[in-house]
Amino acid sequence: MPTMSNPRRPRDLVFPLALLVTAASEARAQFPLGKLEGSNPEARMGTAVGSTTLRSGASYALFGAPGANAATGLPNTGTVSVRVLANGTLVSPAPFFLGLSGTATGAAFGARLGGSRDGRIVIGAPRASVAPASNNGVVIVVDASTGRTTSTMHGPSSGEQAGHAVGFVGDVDGNLIDDIVVGAPFGYGVGSCCWTAGGGVHLVDASPGLVTPTATFMGVGVYCPWHCSGAYSESLGHALAALGDVNGNGRLDCLAGSRLLNRTRILEWDPATATLVELRGDTGPASFGTCVVGLEDLSVPPDGVPDYAAGAPDARIVRVLDGATGAVLRSFVGVDNSFGSAIAAIGDQDGRGRGDLLIGAPAALAGMGSAFAFSVETGNLLGIVAGSIPGEALGTAVGAVADWTGDGRPELLIGAPLATIDDPNAPGTPMPNAGRALVVTLDCGARCSVPGCAPTPTSGLVPRFALPRGNASPGHSVFEVAAAELAPGTQALLLLGASALSIPIDLGAIGMPGCALGVDWFLSPAVATGSPIVGASSGQGSARYPLPIPSGIPLGTDLHAQWFVFDLGVPIFPGALSAATKFTVLASPY
């Protein structure tokens, strides 16, 4: 996985009443940047999210809506939208003003997405049919600088649904063009009715033109000699990821999930036999391998081998594993149902030099869904994003796009494909399952007037301010203000005011050296800090305070807030403060 630079911004200077506040950490907060909604009922926008980086350095976010009606008017064809952030709005860069569309009804174009390091996009349409086969699936590669399709692959066999997972794996065959891997989870059945499709993984040289698989690794179909009802399929190819070189032979490897066998498979191209071979398989709890993602070397001390993460949503577990040995380096065991249904590498969000994880739990909050950003280095909870539309399944897809806000950190992409939204052409008319996708940043930017702090006697955890359910907006009945990276099982107070203090108040005199109060405030009731993780350790906690916004509040109203979190056991006046953060009442929650 490519590493990303992480320039640190100069710390804000705060001049309190008596002296300069020192030892304050860089202010961090979570804000929504934008949303993209489905264009028709059942469009399921946000089923897939991804990104690509052009050679120029520009970064594009990708959003799949496999049930969208194409520009040609074909129903349930599927589209892919390409967006950048400009003047606070998600816009289509040239040449993608019309987006990308499938060519056949029901093809599910955009069900899976991937981006490359050289400005290409790979898109799966797993339910497309290309004669003489049926339901064999289609995968296309698009040049993001021109919008033109450069190569196309048709699934070789009927029913395999090639394109159910797609991704760039790097230049495997040495021709200086990054290759792709394609999942075909319903293919390669053999024999009588009691043999089932084991699925498969295609390695494809994505050179220009109509391409065919270079090699295919087939999954296991279990044979039941006495009765067909017990047969089942490995369904290999539901999840794929690039992994890098895990055995030091100079060849790039890939990772495939086998959720029905509760395992992952590390696969490698063997030029001597012109086949894909398995290097190792790692097993886990129920549904392990539902989602997979490659990571950089996280071992301590480093062993030079890339590591990876895999989700097991049936067991609500995400594990980070050593790429060389399969040893478990870290586990996140969720409280919410479906925790681990989707995972993504999101770059270094906490400035510790190692990539972090975004984990989706689409069944959380009675189906509204949630997504959680965690530090892989410490295990700390860095951010929370919660659904606000009943049944929207936020967290079904998660991803990241290279830095749009200038802080050197990627932004988060989160899909909610079952969101019901209003038809923009007929206000008040709901569009069920139109879906939406959100872009969220963990960058505070200019909205934080005073940095957060954690005085020396405390745990050292600086609370992170968050708006988990989007912007404040009139009538936003489930609006919340939250804090992350806390010790669970403590108490937190929300300091909320109408303005920021022109001169922050130094709190050193009351036992909080290096801390400043930056808002004209009143206190919320105390909020108990909890965690989305079972058996959470320090730093994996959060506090969430409901703050419904009245319908009549004027647009443009600024509110200012800080979190004060008690640190039990510290003498005098124990606690830490988040950044003093401004947020504004806007027309839309997202």
Tens digits of residue pLDDT in 542-554: 999 999 999 999 9
pLDDT surpasses 90 at 187: no
Kindly report which listed range (190-199, 448-457, 573-582) carries the lowest average pLDDT score.
190-199
Tens digits of residue pLDDT in 23-70: 334 668 999 999 999 999 999 999 999 999 998 889 999 999 999 998
Q: Mind giving me the DSSP string for 364-396?
A: TGGGTBEEEEE-TTT--EEEEEE--STT--BTS
CA distance 447 to 88: 14
Q: What is the pLDDT of residue 180?
A: 96
pLDDT average, residue stretch 81-109:
92
CA distance 355 to 5: 11
pLDDT average, residue stretch 195-209:
87
- Name which of 205, 261, 212, 211 is nearest 236 in CA terms: 261
pLDDT surpasses 50 at 16: no
Q: What is the pLDDT of residue 22?
A: 31
Provide the residue type at 212 as one letter. Answer: T
Using omega within 30 degrees of 0 as the cis cutoff, is the peptide bond preceding 213 cis? Answer: no
Place 410 in a pLDDT band, splitting at 50, 70 and 90: very high
pLDDT average, residue stretch 334-353:
94
Q: What is the pLDDT of residue 345?
A: 97
Strand partners, 218: 200
Say which CATH architecture domain 49-445 belongs to. 7 Propeller (2.130)
What does the CA dihedral 548, 550, 556, 558 come to, rounded to 10 degrees? -50
Q: What is the pLDDT of residue 320?
A: 97
- Name which of 83, 141, 90 is nearest 113 in CA terms: 141
Q: What is the pLDDT of residue 4?
A: 30
pLDDT surpasses 50 at 19: no
pLDDT surpasses 80 at 228: no
Quick one: DSSP state of residue 435?
B
Q: What is the pLDDT of residue 429?
A: 95
Q: What is the pLDDT of residue 284?
A: 96
- Name which of 111, 37, 52 is nearest 78 in CA terms: 111
pLDDT surpasses 90 at 156: yes
Tens digits of residue pLDDT in 460-507: 899 999 999 999 999 999 999 999 999 999 999 999 999 999 999 999
Place 257 in a pLDDT band, splitting at 50, 70 and 90: very high
pLDDT average, residue stretch 511-540:
92
Q: What is the pLDDT of residue 15?
A: 24
Q: From residue 196, how far is each of 164, 190, 506 by CA, in Å?
A: 18, 7, 69
Residue ranges of alpha helices (H) inside 264-321 are: none
Tens digits of residue pLDDT in 351-405: 888 899 999 999 999 999 999 999 999 999 999 999 999 999 999 999 999 999 9
pLDDT surpasses 60 at 124: yes
pLDDT surpasses 90 at 440: yes
Tens digits of residue pLDDT in 428-438: 899 999 999 99
CA distance 14 to 502: 10
Q: Is 167 exposed, middle or buried (0-12, 13-18, 19+ CB in 10 A)?
A: buried
Quick one: DSSP state of residue 404?
S
For the chain, what percentages of helix, strand and coil (3-state, to nearest 5) are there? 0, 40, 55
Beta strands in 391-459 (DSSP E): 397-401, 411-416, 421-422, 430-431, 436-441, 448-450
CA distance 392 to 353: 34
CA distance 374 to 518: 27
Q: What is the pLDDT of residue 571?
A: 55
Residue % of the chain over a pLDDT of 90: 73
pLDDT surpasses 70 at 17: no
pLDDT average, residue stretch 166-174:
90
pLDDT average, residue stretch 523-546:
94
pLDDT surpasses 70 at 193: no
Place 509 in a pLDDT band, splitting at 50, 70 and 90: confident
CA distance 65 to 79: 5
pLDDT surpasses 60 at 411: yes
- Name which of 396, 421, 415, 423 is nearest 63 in CA terms: 415
Place 573 in a pLDDT band, splitting at 50, 70 and 90: low
Task: Report whether 348 contacts 376 (CB < 8 A).
Answer: no
pLDDT surpasses 70 at 415: yes
The SS3 call for residue 114 is strand
Q: What is the pLDDT of residue 570?
A: 55
Q: What is the pLDDT of residue 97?
A: 84
CA distance 563 to 571: 20
Q: What is the pLDDT of residue 494?
A: 96
**All structural domains of the chain with their residue ranges:** 49-445, 447-584
Place 567 in a pLDDT band, splitting at 50, 70 and 90: confident
Question: Global pTM?
Answer: 0.92
What does the CA dihedral 94, 98, 100, 104 come to, rounded to 10 degrees? -160
Q: Name the more confident of 169 and 231.
A: 169
Place 5 in a pLDDT band, splitting at 50, 70 and 90: very low
Q: Tell me the CATH class for 447-584.
A: mainly beta
CA distance 139 to 75: 20
pLDDT average, residue stretch 178-186:
94
Task: Report whether 73 contacts 135 (CB < 8 A).
Answer: no
- Name which of 50, 26, 224, 220 is nearest 142 in CA terms: 50
pLDDT average, residue stretch 269-285:
94
Q: What is the pLDDT of residue 71?
A: 75
The contacts of residue 195 (CB under 8 Å, 6+ apart) are: 189, 221, 223, 231
CA distance 35 to 46: 10
- Name which of 102, 100, 113 is nearest 167 in CA terms: 113
Tokens of 354: 């190692």
Q: What is the pLDDT of residue 211?
A: 94
Report the mean per-residue pLDDT for the chain.
89
